[in-house]
Amino acid sequence: MSDFFNFLLNGLSCGAIYALIAVGYTMVYGIIKLINFAHGEFYMFGAFVGYAALYALFGVHPTGGEPGFLIFAASLLLAGLLTAILAVVVERFCYRPLRNAGRIVALLSALGVSLLLQNLGQQTVGASYRKFAPTLTEARFPRTEVDLASLQPGQTFDRTVVLDYALRDERGRDQQRTHAVVLAGEPLSAAALAETLRLAQASSRPAHAYTYAAVTVSSKQLVIVLTLVLVAAGLYGLVQHTRFGRAMRAVSVDFRAAALMGIDVNRIVSGTFFIGAFVAGIGGFLAGGMYYERIDPLMGLLPGLKAFVAAVLGGIGSIPGAILGALLLGISEKMVEAYVHSGLRDAFAFGILIAVLLVRPSGLLGRFEGDKV
């Protein structure tokens, strides 16, 4: 049973990553009825901006050592901001001139931009994976601290005891390490105890021993889910309670009438791309960088497609729908992976897309308008 809840939490954080991409997809669709296939590349771009910010701008060593909250936050912000600017430029030069040319033409342009950004990435930074050094102290919750001084040889525990300690590298940063002290149910040997105390002594910052609950959530998962909660609340406030949000809703339903209200439609469209890509950019940094710790120019492809599936599942054009669809998709993917077959995960996701299109094209929370592409 605890396995199930661990899968659920994993699925939830995976879904939260999809959600950070899916909201931009759905916002752009809502306002100009364009499926912006380059949106996954915005996510990729954010991860690379974050990488560059950490290593080039703030001089964090590529082999790691946590950058600290301020540098982390500044890199995150830069990732969002530069991605947003990229999206505004893409909209201005690749989509706006085609706005009256028909949906298929704009869609092809979006596919072109997607491939262009992938190839540009491969040509400039190389096609291979790069390691993204740890950006956040890895910790799992809930946990109970075990007093190191109280440990006795021969003692047994009903849960595995793990020691968290750190070693300082040549750059003076603490590298996080863990060490299994004793497995659940086994007696603690004198040798293991001596080794544990030696490591704790040598640790460059205070070492702690913990036992963990059967169901745990990691600090990284918490950061991602919390980010999604903040993004969702922020978008809700923006869309429902600001002048910009009212204008967005007006443009999405009737842009000509909106222009008659004095709304500069192009500005609202730019703003929508800005916000959607900002969220995708920080998503790329948090997911590719912080969570998976590896990035490459094609990293946006699959998550981008999954986010599209999520947006369709939730009802494309609806922000709450995109978030709901993404969480459902993330959770069900993890369940398929865990209980059916790990190789079927992606096939399952695209199976959902086909099923939704066949059975309920308007998605869970959407209103179907027909003739979408």
Partner 1 sequence: MSDPAAPILEIRDLHVFYGGIHALKGVSLTVHRGELVSLIGANGAGKTTTLNTIAGVLAPKDGQVLLEGASIAGQPSHAILRQGLALCPEGRRIFPNLTVDENLDLGAYIRSDPAGVREDIAKMRETFPILQERAGQLAGTLSGGEQQMLAIARALMSRPRLLMLDEPSLGLAPLLVDRIFEILAGLKRQGMTVLLVEQNAFQALGVADRAYVLETGRIVKTGPARDLASDPEVKRAYLGG
Contact status: 246 vs partner 1 (CB under 8 A): yes
Contact status: 99 vs partner 1 (CB under 8 A): no
Question: Cα–Cα distance between 356 and 364 in angstroms, integer?
Answer: 9
Nearest of 288, 326, 233 to residue 20 by alpha carbon: 326
Q: Of 256, 370, 371, 373, which lies in the binding site for partner 1, with binding defined by CB under 8 A?
A: 256
Choice between 171 and 241, CB closer to partner 1: 241
Site for partner 1 in 262-301 (CB under 8 A): 262-265
> Contact region for partner 1 (CB under 8 A) — 248-256, 296-304, 308-316, 334-342?
248-256
Question: Minimum CB separation from partner 1 for residue 364, in Å?
Answer: 18
Nearest of 277, 266, 371 to residue 40 by alpha carbon: 277
Contact status: 249 vs partner 1 (CB under 8 A): yes
Contact status: 261 vs partner 1 (CB under 8 A): yes
Measured between its terminal Cα atoms, the distance across the chain in Å is 44
> Contact region for partner 1 (CB under 8 A) — 57-65, 99-107, 119-127, 261-269?
261-269
Taken in order 63, 192, 3, 147, the sign of the CA dihedral is negative
Question: Cα–Cα distance between 50 and 72 in angstroms, integer?
Answer: 9
Nearest of 79, 45, 11, 17 to residue 299 by alpha carbon: 45
Q: Is residue 195 a contact partner of residue 127, using CB atoms and an 8 Å limit?
A: no
> Contact region for partner 1 (CB under 8 A) — 8-16, 126-134, 200-208, 260-268?
260-268
Contact status: 254 vs partner 1 (CB under 8 A): yes
Site for partner 1 in 312-331 (CB under 8 A): none
Burial of 71 (0-12, 13-18, 19+ CB in 10 A): middle
Question: Cα–Cα distance between 234 and 220 in angstroms, integer?
Answer: 21
> How many residues sit in the footprint of partner 1 (CB under 8 A)?
18
Using CA atoms of 370, 347, 45, 313 in order, give the dihedral in degrees to the nearest 10: 30
Nearest of 74, 24, 116 to residue 303 by alpha carbon: 24
Question: Minimum CB separation from partner 1 for residue 320, in Å?
Answer: 14
Q: How far lies 265's CA from each of 176, 203, 363, in Å?
A: 50, 59, 27
Question: Cα–Cα distance between 44 and 79 in angstroms, integer?
Answer: 10
Choice between 267 and 341, CB closer to partner 1: 267
Contact status: 258 vs partner 1 (CB under 8 A): yes
Choice between 175 and 252, CB closer to partner 1: 252
Q: Is residue 135 a contact partner of residue 73, using CB atoms and an 8 Å limit?
A: no
Choice between 187 and 320, CB closer to partner 1: 320
Q: Of 85, 94, 197, 250, which lies in the binding site for partner 1, with binding defined by CB under 8 A?
A: 250
Contact status: 257 vs partner 1 (CB under 8 A): yes
Choice between 245 and 361, CB closer to partner 1: 245
Choice between 153 and 237, CB closer to partner 1: 237
> Contact region for partner 1 (CB under 8 A) — 39-47, 67-75, 150-158, 243-251?
243-251
Q: Of 259, 298, 301, 353, which lies in the binding site for partner 1, with binding defined by CB under 8 A?
A: 259
Binding positions for partner 1, rule: CB under 8 A = 243, 246-247, 249-250, 252-254, 256-265
